Structure 1
Amino acid sequence: MDFYMKTGKRAVLLTAVLASCMIGGCAGKEPAPTEATPAETSARAEESTGNAGIPNPMEEVDNVLAFEKIGVHMVLPKEAVEPSYFIINGEVADIHFTFNDIGYTYRASDTAEDFAGIFERFKDGVLTETAGSGGQTAEIQIKTTESGGRLAAWEWGSTKYTLYTASQVEDGDISSLAVTLAELGENEK
């Protein structure tokens, strides 16, 4: 009788383990995704869902002048290279560019509330900078993600701005670039 009890318990345990593998998957972890452009990400999503009829929320545009139709004014510093411009869901201006060999995403919106697109936790502590002149100022808040990326956010009038890099950059570098961008867009509203 003891033999059958032990064998029965083993069978139940083996069944539970196999069921867990079937439900949760026993295969190794999938490789981490590689960084892709917004257009590539959208195209991959369409391919994986088989819904090629779903419109791409990212409309590629020629330059910053296209953002005026959604009420957003953005200017890049002359040192920014390889810019690409998008309008997301008809309400968020999005520029991907390289500055001092580091990739950045610069976004702005007059209507959207949370559009930074950062889906990871932030470390404690916020670095604060001030931009502006002539009595008009904006407070820039800079946060650091757990993986070391940096997110700066500020507002001019009704327009909200974010600057993000996944790279680990020094406080002075992210602060300087954020202040420059904010001051270039200061006369927006």
Structure 2
Amino acid sequence: MKIIKGTVDSKVVTLSRPDAVKYIQNRPTLGIIGGEFAITYDEDDMPITTLLGSCVAVMLYDSVSRIKGMNHFLLPTSCAQGQSCRFGLYAMETMLNEMYKLGCRKENITAKIAGGANILHDLSDNIGERNVLFARSFCRSEGIRITAENVLGINGRVVMLDNGFKTIAKTVANRSMEERLAQSDRALAKKVEKTEKLPADDSGVTLF
């Protein structure tokens, strides 16, 4: 088994077994948190999962190499273009580069996007929407086709990226978990910097 993982302290490590196992539908999965990404091979049968509020996960899949990756970022960019996977720009560029090192080719890669909920119901500065717009814009600028989305709304979601680019997104219906997500988003809202809103482009995008 070979797992490539980006950590919250901006390291990229190679693992021979998952370091954070989460069980989804009685299956062991590799769990990631905000500021991390993970890349796995389909042949190792290790899905990747995460829990999202206003944060966004972009999932990438090379259909020829059968290699998949998922990140979980909190904000589109930082004022100083921070070198951390907490920020979408760094998370996307770093994960893509690691997939290229494994032999993935851009022309074989497609994307799915999940998350970006407005947990706090605050329309004045919707962090989730800005994260989604960034993810769409990045994929468009890189020439990576988005094949599906499960985004926005007012509820958090658990997302699983499985073999063959199969994805499952389940709305969070647990009150304590919803409050935990809300607390996280309140803390995030205090730190968020104002960035220019990117135009939405929904062409060719379908739900999961």
After TM superposition, is the score higher than 0.5? no
Higher relative contact order (CA 8 A, sep 6+): 2
User: Which structure would you say has the larger Rg?
Assistant: 1
Normalising by structure 1, we get a TM-score of: 0.31
Normalising by structure 2, we get a TM-score of: 0.28
